[in-house]
A and B are shown apart, each in its own frame.
Chain A
């Protein structure tokens, strides 16, 4: 029971929000309810973080689940803190946005805890379908509508691929439970029937779609550009992280590292994502497109940790280090990217990099934080991004993935180029300030949120032991 508590809290918050909206619309109150609900869920999740051993047929609450749910809730909570002011500037009804946020968070929680394709698919659809209206939320914006439809169609296609894969697996094994499949599928694969390989390939295609990895990455930039900033933030963080956790689970349970074909495919996807993602981001003028492409690259990096799962050689007898690396990097990426989106929410109508010109001389605090976050994405020491990258290098060296490491280095240098480009634009004092008259006051909430983001990124970046210790403890690795 207590394992479901965060989910129950989120769901009941969603119900309360729905009822409140039905009876009396009050943006302020609903915002408060949402934030309180998410805070409570986060708190409960965090208090119970060490409590990890419960499973049903559909859901499993192990170390991976608790860590990923805490991360997802943390990110959603951060977003909810700043949502009020941002939505206040919209003309449309605002209350439904909170409902959708809660539902997609709930979907992500279910996805990350699922160990059965039924629960997985339900969670996935709950998340994706809530995201569609959120993408098209700014109703009179054609670009947002286009992005919404694009996402709807493409995620439906990806879901279709996934369903087909699941159906094939069910046909041959008679089960949808992932642990049971993990036992039966390798035997099927080894007898060389091409149908089974097809099923795995279809599954991988669906995952690359949802994680926007190369070669199924083309939708991501358009959707990020068209979507409202908070939705883009959710797309970049929650929806990808939840899916990635499932991929990790599949990989571990299915012992895919014994399947050289799958390993090769994933390795190629990883290398291509690192290089193509960074290459496409290189000359982008729009920040959201840039972040979209860089997120392709980042999920390419993190695939390194999955690929490293196979070798249990140096640092420990189990896959401990690679697992730890996955979560440290996910934490690093999610907090940093969410921080960047939060700062973008505080800079109204800033989409082009050029609009940031001279920001450093006008809004010192925000631009310094944005610069720090960008450096964290680039993996410069004393930020959490560096710790993530350090973990990845360690596990990749440990697993001797030399070619992928070369791709990582080339990708990182390319990445540094475009992150620095943004910083250069910000400190460029020649540029005419975009809005000189609008020295926007920073409210107390905004200060708090920025403080928390800095604490999460720099604080943990300088003293990562706490986080590493927590991850180890929860995963039962110590």
Chain B
């Protein structure tokens, strides 16, 4: 079922490419419709969802792939995967909608790349075979690279190259770690397996586990991104077309956090505890550094990009605090950040589409001509700074509460990131929406954009006011894997 979902997205991409020769607007309709249809296979799972049951895997399917190494296409959904797959499909639709009018050049190939990236991401979130995971991890890169390199802004080739090289370096580290883990496990158990479930029971020496864990950790930290591996992100975000920015922020960054929760912590509970204090320190630094950098940018997209670094610092903080609350917070943060930041990128895209600039000094007073856009913008800016009642607040609060018990000082340091978030967020609002109008009037949000933005706002409000179902869903996963690391 998951495999068919992935294959469906791949095929839809090819269909979108071909349809271009019939009608230039066909690709976007195909992309949008197929992303809606992609929910169909998930509906039975959603309807039969029982939050109180102990059943961990909602779907679990194994297809034989490379028997030589006992590699199978093992795909499974649990609460965490389900949440992230739903986020992927929803934000994919947002990306398609935000590209609706912006992309005139080669639309067929554009939507092919969008759909293929999403297929890769769905694969990453569902793969329980480490080889398959790695393949999906790389497969989502190439289309994303093309999206940035082909439809990006002025300095796109540099940004695309940097994005690919950074992620690929991380990817090779992950590949190395996977190989080492599998082989060492084979030496000990006599069973060659890339399967997550088998590898969970490995009995590596603590030294080996430490190095392998480090490989995974750096690979995922590059993706997340965490200082000092974050430099690709501002460039990639700034140069990417709006839709690619949305996907990048909403789901690609989440694969890093997902990797930490799914693989690093359950597979290496001992080694994780050894490095946790250092990683927490780096995470706190990342939160503050990202916020400071965000404040000092002139380019609206760079502000949002650096705010991502800051927010993803909270995810890392939550992951390595090693308490259930903090993990809950990390998951919530991934979801909330996915929605709020993609909304901000879509917003910047909308501004860029109208004024062809993202420079904060040239913008200002947009409220006077674009009241709808500005009101929505203000909402998401406020969400991003962590206003109570919205998803981001729940997430950051949980992370901080969960971490405070074990690392009070680092948590206090990271909490100051919330204040800095208020500073740069309000700066966005101030410089963009208020003040004197420097630019000519433009057309406000149309129905498509309004509907898209309002539904995202609604999502954030639901997450903020009634997060319990989401927390319950994630809880099953967290409970199941994290027994070993409770301090």
Sample of 4 more A-B contacts, CB < 8 Å, known A413-B168, A423-B149, A465-B68:
A381-B139, A390-B179, A409-B173, A412-B172
For residue A323, CB closer than 8 A to chain B, the reply is no
Could you tell me the distance in whole angstroms from the C-beta of B24 to the nearest C-beta in chain A? 15
Contact of B179 among A393, A412, A469 (CB under 8 A): A393
Contact of A397 among B65, B131, B179 (CB under 8 A): B179
Which residues of chain B are within 8 angstroms of A468 by Cβ–Cβ distance? Answer: 66, 68
Question: Which of B78-86, B158-166, B339-347, B436-444 contacts the other chain?
Answer: B158-166
CA distance A314 to B131 in the complex (A): 18
For residue B180, CB closer than 8 A to chain A, the reply is yes
Which residues of chain B are within 8 angstroms of A381 by Cβ–Cβ distance? Answer: 134-135, 138-139
For residue B111, CB closer than 8 A to chain A, the reply is no
For residue B306, CB closer than 8 A to chain A, the reply is no
For residue B462, CB closer than 8 A to chain A, the reply is no
For residue B14, CB closer than 8 A to chain A, the reply is no
Could you tell me the distance in whole angstroms from the C-beta of A161 to the nearest C-beta in chain B? 36
Which residues of chain B are within 8 angstroms of A416 by Cβ–Cβ distance? Answer: 164-165, 168
Asked if B165 contacts A413 (CB within 8 A), the reply is yes
Q: Supply 29 A–B pairs (Cβ within 8 Å), ascending by A.
A: A313-B187, A314-B183, A315-B186, A361-B106, A375-B142, A380-B141, A381-B138, A386-B135, A386-B138, A390-B131, A390-B175, A393-B176, A393-B179, A397-B176, A409-B172, A409-B176, A413-B168, A413-B169, A416-B165, A420-B164, A424-B161, A427-B150, A428-B157, A429-B150, A464-B68, A465-B66, A465-B67, A468-B66, A472-B68
Given A409-B176, A424-B157, A468-B66: A417 and B165 within 8 A (CB)?
Answer: yes
Asked if B161 contacts A393 (CB within 8 A), the reply is no
Contact with B along A398-435 (1 / 0, CB 8 A): 10000001000100110011001101100111000000
Interface size on B, residues (CB 8 A): 34
For residue B145, CB closer than 8 A to chain A, the reply is yes
Could you tell me the distance in whole angstroms from the C-beta of A423 to the nearest C-beta in chain B? 8
- The chain A residue with its CB closest to the CB of B68 is A468
CA distance A405 to B106 in the complex (A): 40
Given A409-B176, A465-B67, A468-B68: A394 and B183 within 8 A (CB)?
Answer: yes
For residue B26, CB closer than 8 A to chain A, the reply is no
For residue B429, CB closer than 8 A to chain A, the reply is no
Asked if A469 contacts B68 (CB within 8 A), the reply is yes
What number of residue pairs across chains A and B have CB atoms under 8 A from each other?
78
CA distance A463 to B135 in the complex (A): 13
Given A424-B161, A465-B66: A397 and B183 within 8 A (CB)?
Answer: yes
CA distance A381 to B150 in the complex (A): 21
For residue B285, CB closer than 8 A to chain A, the reply is no
Could you tell me the distance in whole angstroms from the C-beta of A462 to the nearest C-beta in chain B? 9
Asked if A427 contacts B187 (CB within 8 A), the reply is no
For residue B126, CB closer than 8 A to chain A, the reply is no
Across the A-B interface, give the 8 residue pairs with the lowest CB-CB distance, nearest first.
Answer: A381-B135, A468-B68, A397-B179, A381-B138, A409-B172, A393-B179, A314-B183, A413-B169
Could you tell me the distance in whole angstroms from the C-beta of B13 to the nearest C-beta in chain A? 14
For residue A382, CB closer than 8 A to chain B, the reply is yes
Interface size on A, residues (CB 8 A): 33
- The chain A residue with its CB closest to the CB of B132 is A381
Interface residues of A in 193-213 (CB under 8 A from B): none
Interface residues of B in 105-160 (CB under 8 A from A): 105-106, 131, 134-135, 138-139, 141-142, 145-146, 149-150, 157, 160
CA distance A382 to B119 in the complex (A): 14
Asked if A413 contacts B66 (CB within 8 A), the reply is no
Given A464-B66, A465-B67: A393 and B175 within 8 A (CB)?
Answer: yes
Which residues of chain A are within 8 angstroms of B106 by Cβ–Cβ distance? Answer: 361
Asked if B172 contacts A420 (CB within 8 A), the reply is no
Interface centre among B105, B141, B175 (most CB of A within 10 A): B175
For residue B387, CB closer than 8 A to chain A, the reply is no
For residue B459, CB closer than 8 A to chain A, the reply is no
Which residues of chain A are within 8 angstroms of B176 by Cβ–Cβ distance? Answer: 393, 397, 405, 409
Which residues of chain B are within 8 angstroms of A421 by Cβ–Cβ distance? Answer: 161
Could you tell me the distance in whole angstroms from the C-beta of B168 to the nearest C-beta in chain A? 5
Which residues of chain B are within 8 angstroms of A382 by Cβ–Cβ distance? Answer: 135, 139
Which residues of chain A are within 8 angstroms of B142 by Cβ–Cβ distance? Answer: 375, 380
Asked if A394 contacts B149 (CB within 8 A), the reply is no
CA distance A346 to B134 in the complex (A): 34
CA distance A475 to B145 in the complex (A): 40
CA distance A322 to B165 in the complex (A): 28
For residue B423, CB closer than 8 A to chain A, the reply is no
CA distance A386 to B149 in the complex (A): 23
For residue B90, CB closer than 8 A to chain A, the reply is no
- The chain A residue with its CB closest to the CB of B169 is A413
For residue B42, CB closer than 8 A to chain A, the reply is no
For residue B15, CB closer than 8 A to chain A, the reply is no
Could you tell me the distance in whole angstroms from the C-beta of B10 to the nearest C-beta in chain A? 11
Contact of B180 among A390, A397, A413, A469 (CB under 8 A): A397
Could you tell me the distance in whole angstroms from the C-beta of B341 to the nearest C-beta in chain A? 27
Could you tell me the distance in whole angstroms from the C-beta of B361 to the nearest C-beta in chain A? 28
CA distance A314 to B190 in the complex (A): 9
For residue B461, CB closer than 8 A to chain A, the reply is no
For residue B192, CB closer than 8 A to chain A, the reply is yes
Could you tell me the distance in whole angstroms from the C-beta of B103 to the nearest C-beta in chain A? 14
Could you tell me the distance in whole angstroms from the C-beta of B246 to the nearest C-beta in chain A? 22
- The chain A residue with its CB closest to the CB of B157 is A424
CA distance A329 to B179 in the complex (A): 17
Which residues of chain A are within 8 angstroms of B67 by Cβ–Cβ distance? Answer: 465
Which residues of chain A are within 8 angstroms of B66 by Cβ–Cβ distance? Answer: 463-465, 468
Which residues of chain A are within 8 angstroms of B192 by Cβ–Cβ distance? Answer: 315
Could you tell me the distance in whole angstroms from the C-beta of B139 to the nearest C-beta in chain A? 6
Asked if A315 contacts B183 (CB within 8 A), the reply is yes
Could you tell me the distance in whole angstroms from the C-beta of B80 to the nearest C-beta in chain A? 24
